[in-house]
């Protein structure tokens, strides 16, 4: 039996587990730290917005994460390592986009 089956509405989770939003924020912060550590180590190849501008490795909004990186096997291995650390991707909610010039190389 599901121990949470008595909770009928998502708002009831917050009443039952008031620390849940804080745990989620801590979880997202840890994911951000892992990406930043890989970027600082030179493993994550972030994308420049334009010449001379800062590079973007990821953006977070609510419970969504946008990852920006080089389309390479090395970058894929880093994402797989993030998943191995407990950060799971939802395949039905995920999409991958490549620049037009990269599609010809894959």
Give the model confidence (pLDDT) of 17-66 as tens digits: 777 778 888 888 888 898 899 889 988 888 888 888 888 888 888 778 88
User: Does residue 61 contact residue 28 with C-beta atoms inside 8 Å?
Assistant: no
CA distances from 86 to 13, 28, 105 (A): 22, 12, 31
> Domains in the chain: how many in total?
1
pLDDT tens digits for 56-65?
A: 888 888 778 8
For residue 1, is it within any domain? Answer: no
Provide the residue range defining the domain that includes 48: 11-103
* Pairs from 30-35 (Cβ < 8 Å, separation ≥ 24): 31/65, 31/82, 31/87, 32/58, 32/60, 34/82, 34/85, 34/87, 35/67, 35/82
For residue 3, is it within any domain? Answer: no
pLDDT band at 69 (very low <50, low <70, confident <90, very high): confident
For residue 5, is it within any domain? Answer: no
For residue 2, is it within any domain? Answer: no
pTM metric for this prediction: 0.67
Mean pLDDT of 74-95: 78
Question: Is pLDDT at 2 greater than 60 in this prediction?
Answer: no
């Amino acid at each position: 039996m599901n121990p949470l089956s008595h909770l009928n509405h998502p708002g009831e989770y917050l009443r039952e587990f008031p620390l849940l939003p804080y745990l989620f924020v801590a979880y997202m912060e840890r994911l951000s730290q892992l990406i930043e550590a890989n970027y600082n180590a030179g493993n994550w190849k972030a994308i420049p917005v334009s010449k001379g501008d800062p590079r973007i490795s990821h953006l977070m909004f609510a419970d969504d994460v946008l990852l920006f990186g080089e389309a390479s096997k090395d970058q894929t291995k880093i994402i797989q390592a993030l998943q191995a650390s407990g950060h799971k991707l939802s395949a039905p909610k995920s999409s991958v986009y490549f620049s037009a010039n990269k599609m010809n190389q894959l």
